[in-house]
Every structure is written in structure tokens, then in C-alpha cells.
Amino acid sequence: MRRSAFRVPSSALEVLPASLATADRIHTQITSDDRAERAERGTRNAELGETVRRLADERDAVILAHNYQVPEIQDIADFVGDSLGLAIQARKTDAPVIVMCGVYFMAETAKIVNPERTVLSPDPTAGCSLADSITLRDLRRWKSEHPEAVVVSYVNTTAEIKAESDYCVTSGNAEAVVRSIPADQEILFLPDQFLGSWLKERTGRENMHIWLGECHVHAGIRPEEVRARQEAYADADLLIHPECGCASACVWANGRGVMNPRTYVLSTEGMVKHASTSAADTFVVATETGILHRLHKEIQGKRFVAADENAVCGYMKQITLEKVRDTLRDLAPTVEVPSPIADRARIAIDRMLAVHA
């Protein structure tokens, strides 16, 4: 049977222009409302930022912020950096009050290196999945199985874990610390399995045991996502944080000439330094997306692309301008670490600060 041609009813043709016009007006209104909302939010953040800075001056406080903090927090901070940079700044400051805008273990570290100063955490519930991946009981059991080993703990750990450790490290100086330990010395590295695997590949140490913990954000950045970004931006430098699940694989592949040579495994501070001196114009960045704000702000004229736009740490984003304002106004919540724990943890942290990348 021959199929008859479909005809749009004339009534529909009459309605169509009006419907399109209505849809266009709705889109315009939504866009306008969105712009208005962004403008209102920007004004509110600017006002809050001014209040925070006024309170910081009144309290003679220094505000330290991690690279993964939201842009408005980074913009009002006295210093923005990685875990090592924050620990160094916390130690060297002469301010009587320190506001740590980061997850809780960072505030603990600031208190340990500055026991006489007031350390404030705008949100003590801002935790860390990596720090939670090992308990004090876990570590003591592991140590009993390797009584002659030295314990090297990533800074992403609680004060109690640091107190049970011989060395503390950050991604910025972990390799240097591990290389400073005699080659025949057995090592227990915790808690990040990917950073540990990367260190083992880099140093060639077979006597380093690795705890199977992970950062849920970095572990979620998969090799296939990274490869897809590299293919889309063929001329870009690839910057990978060693906590990423693909970091050790990249080191292995790079060392055997089977991966793009423009691949660099770096701490967040290392990423900033590399991008500022590299001849490349575009960078694919495999870490938590908060670092992109600092990169764009400090290195203008270059392009920075997230390897995974969903690599967002909800814990880091818990710190808001309102919370910083309130903590400066009330001088609370304060961070306290019991002296017996702090005194022992300080030994491991001091060793971390003594070894530079």
C-alpha cells in the first residue's frame, strides 16, 4: 500500500510561531535569571570576603587555604598551597591565630607545629577518605608484623597515626624522604596505595610494603579518561597527581617509552611550578579540580583542562565564607591535639619539614 504524505494540520502551523516565541522568551528569562543569580552571588561573596578580611585583621589571624578549596576561599587567604606548603607556613607564621581552610588533618598538623597558638577549623567535620582508610589499631598490628621496619606516613593521616610514625611526607617531598632512608631499611608506607606504588616504581625499593588505602577522588580518575583528554589535547602537558590510580602506570609506561613523554607526575605545588615555566600552552590536569582556579589566576594566558571534571572533593568544599566569618568572629571551633600525641607526631612532621623535594 502506498503511504500517504504526512501533513501538519493548519491549526498546528498557526500555533507553532507562537510556541517558538514563548520558548525563546522562557530561555531568555532563564538565562537572565541565571546571570542575575550569579551577579547576586558574586556581590554576596565580595561582601563576605571583606568581612572575613576585616575580622582577620582584628584578630591578627592568618588564613591558610589548600589548593582544593573553593575559589572564594582561595581569594581571601593569606597563603594558598599544598599540604607541605601549609605546614611550612603554619610553622613560620608569627600570627597568634591560624585559620586552616582545608580538611581536619591539616588543622591538626598546624596545631602540632604551633602548640602555643590558636588554630581554628571552620568545619571540623571536613574529613578525608584517605585518612580514614587506616586506624590506629590497623597500624599497630601492621607494625607488630614488621618490627624492624620504619613507618612512613603520608600527611593525609590523623594525629594519632602520625604519632605512631617515624616519618611524615607529602606528595611534594615523599620521594626525597624515601630516598633519604638507607636502602636496606624495611619501610611501611601508608596509607595511599597509589602514591606508594609510584614511589616504589620511582625508587626501585623492593623492601617497601604499601597499605591499601586510597583517596576516593583521585582513585576515581581512570586511565581511560586521562588518555581521552590527551588525545583531545595532543599538544598539552599532562600533569598527574601521584594519588591518582593511573600515576604508577604512567611512570611505568613513560620509563619504557610507551607513553607521551609530556607526562609529569607532580604534587599540586609542582603542577603550579611546572606550568609557570613550561613552553606548553595547554595542560591536562589530573587532580581535584580546585587547583584549576589557582592555575588560571597565577598563570594567565595558558589553558588548563581538568582530566576529569567530576574529580571534586566534597570534604574540601565544606569550607565556606560564612563558616570562616563565624570562626573568626567566635574564635571557634578550636583545634586541640593531646600533648602526648602531639609531641610524638611532631617528630615525624619535623623530619618531613627537614627534607625538601
Which uninterrupted H or E stretch holds 224?
A: helix 223-232
The answer to whether residue 284 is domain-embedded is yes
- 39 — pLDDT class (breaks 50, 70, 90): confident
Whether 243 and 294 share a structural domain: yes
What 3-state class would DSSP assign to 241? coil
Here the cell at position 249 is 602506570
The answer to whether residue 101 is domain-embedded is no
Are 49 and 138 in contact, with CB atoms under 8 Å apart?
A: no
What 3-state class would DSSP assign to 259? coil
Whether 286 and 346 share a structural domain: no
Q: What is the pLDDT of residues 296-341, one digit of tens each?
A: 999 999 999 999 999 999 999 999 999 999 999 999 999 999 999 9
Whether 159 and 297 share a structural domain: no
With 0-12 CB in 10 A as exposed, 13-18 as middle and 19+ as buried, what is 87? buried
Mean pLDDT across the chain: 89
Per-residue confidence (pLDDT) for residue 245, from 0 to 100: 77
- 2 — pLDDT class (breaks 50, 70, 90): very low
CA–CA separation, 310 and 247 (whole Å): 18
Per-residue confidence (pLDDT) for residue 8, from 0 to 100: 47
- As a whole number, mean pLDDT of residues 227-255 equals 80
- 40 — pLDDT class (breaks 50, 70, 90): confident
CA–CA separation, 233 and 54 (whole Å): 43
Whether 196 and 267 share a structural domain: no
Smallest CA-to-CA distance from 333 within 97, 112, 48, 162 is with 97
Per-residue confidence (pLDDT) for residue 33, from 0 to 100: 65
The CATH number linked to 159 is 3.40.50.10800
Are 124 and 104 in contact, with CB atoms under 8 Å apart?
A: yes
- As a whole number, mean pLDDT of residues 83-90 equals 91
State yes or no: pLDDT of 344 exceeds 60. Answer: yes
Q: How many domains does the chain have?
A: 2
Are 96 and 81 in contact, with CB atoms under 8 Å apart?
A: no
State yes or no: pLDDT of 22 exceeds 70. Answer: no
Per-residue confidence (pLDDT) for residue 181, from 0 to 100: 94
The answer to whether residue 13 is domain-embedded is no
Higher-pLDDT residue of 45, 275: 275
The answer to whether residue 244 is domain-embedded is yes
Q: Which of 5-9, 26-30, 353-357 has the lowest mean pLDDT?
A: 5-9
Structural domain containing residue 291: 221-310
State yes or no: pLDDT of 6 exceeds 50. Answer: no
